Amino acid sequence: MLCSCSERNKKLPITESKFKEILIDIHFHEARLEQFTSMTDTFFYAIGKGYENIFEKHSVTKEQFQETFLYYEQQPAAFEKIYEEIVDKLSEEEAKAGE
């Protein structure tokens, strides 16, 4: 019981709002990668470079992102809420692009 309470109160390296922004950027990056028709060296370079650029844009490290992701992965209700908001945002952006 004590462990779960301290886990919920744990100070994460990335705030929830910034974490959402990063996840949205990751989804946009992954959507762009779907344009590749084969898995060439360029494809794998684009994958890695894209994630590096996202982390740099948000001033976080890969390790900070992983720690935050793992935390939310163990908090399914909180992670589901975050993803509901992300899906809403992605849907808004898709609608804007279709106009």
Tell me, what's the pLDDT at 20? 96
Element of type H or E holding 17: helix 16-33
Contact 95, 36 (CB under 8 A): no
Mean model confidence pLDDT for the chain: 86
This prediction has a pTM of 0.80
- Cα distances (angstroms) measured from residue 27 to each of 50, 58, 66, 72, 93: 11, 15, 16, 17, 12
